[in-house]
Amino acid sequence: MNTRIVCLGFFALMSSANAAPVSETRTWTESFPVTSEAPQLTIKNIWGNVNVRPGSPGTISVVIDEKRSAPSQALFERSLETFRLDIETDVDGVAIYVGDHDGTWERRDPCRGCRVDYQFEVTVPPGTQLDVSTVNDGRIDVSGISGMVSASNVNGPISVSEIGNCNDLDSVNGAVDVSFSTAPGQDCSIGTINGDIAISMPDGSGLDVALDLFNGRMTTEFEVDSYALPAQVEQSNDNGRLRYKIQQSAGLRIENGGPTFSISSLNGDIRFQKN
């Protein structure tokens, strides 16, 4: 009788020990030599920040701070397989994916309750092209990058300052702040659903803007002219289903015009301001 109780107690102790939350933190640095004049940096994060600053030519350096947690040791072990860093590198650049490149981790066993926060502190050579993103509890912070910048976030802000050009800056529930060190020379798309958008440029910069807005106020420190953009009609055929789509944006010319920026916001304000 006593033996049975002891055994039951032992198994209960074992299972409770097995079910105890497990967490682990570590920090390390990776350096990747690159020879391209315009190397590419891609980071696809899930939880955490991505910060990028200018660094030395020929090297992309990444300080990675990892905090991994799971509801149990077994799930912790599983998270090592599900949420791992998939790093691809060659002389043209570096790509770092949390999970894996093709996104199959989303279709695998979900590892419920597991979480791995990565904070990326990156320095890149001049002229590096960026494509960086995160999803939860993180911010994208890029500064001083002369190459083309693309950034996305789902539940946090994007701050991109002192850059040369952008390609696509997109958030769902966060603000997008972008400031250009020189007058932008390339087309760019900037969008958010529930955040404000602030665009800062040197005095005298010009843009043509296609605006898709719903709520929110717009302000500008530049002189602007409103103009009509033609409606775009697209036709597509999806397995016999014909689809015609008409879209039209409101047009705004800043100063004497320039590259076309497509800017969309549902519930946020939009500001064009001088540096």
Partner 1 sequence: MNTRYFGMAFSLVLMLSGMQASAQGEPQIINIPLSNPGEPITLDISILSARIEVIGEDREDAEFTVTVEMGNRKIITPSGAQELTGGSYSLEVDEDDNHISVDTDWRANKVNIVARIPRRADLELSTTIDGEILVSNVTGNMELENTNGPITATNISGSVIAEAVNDTIDVSFTSIDASNAMSLNSINGDLIFGLPANAGAQFHLDSSRGEIFSDFEVEVQTTKPVIERRDDRGGVEVRLESAIVVNVNGGGPVVQLKTLNGDIQIRKTGN
Name the residue nearer to partner 1 (CB basis): 82 or 265. Answer: 265
Strands 207-213 and 250-254: what pairing?
Answer: antiparallel
How big is the site for partner 1, counted in residues (CB under 8 A)? 33
Distance of closest approach, residue 157 Cβ to partner 1, in angstroms: 23
* 18 lies in the binding site for partner 1 (CB under 8 A): no
φ, ψ for residue 101, nearest 5 deg: -60, -45
| Range 190-249, binding partner 1 (CB under 8 A) | 211-214, 217-224, 226-231, 233, 240-249
Closer residue to partner 1, CB minimum distance, 47 or 261: 261
- Give least dist CB 172 to partner 1, A: 15
For the chain, the first-to-last Cα distance in angstroms comes to 80
Q: Is 26 in the site for partner 1 (CB under 8 A)?
A: no
CB of 155 to partner 1, least distance (A): 21
Residues in CB range of 69: below 8 A, 6 or more apart:
21, 22, 23, 24, 76, 114, 115, 116
User: Residue 20 CB: number of other CB atoms within 10 A?
Assistant: 10
Q: Is 129 exposed, middle or buried (0-12, 13-18, 19+ CB in 10 A)?
A: buried
Tell me how far, at minimum, the Cβ of 211 lies from partner 1, in Å: 6
Query: Which chain residues interact with partner 1 by CB under 8 A?
Result: 211-214, 217-224, 226-231, 233, 240-252, 266
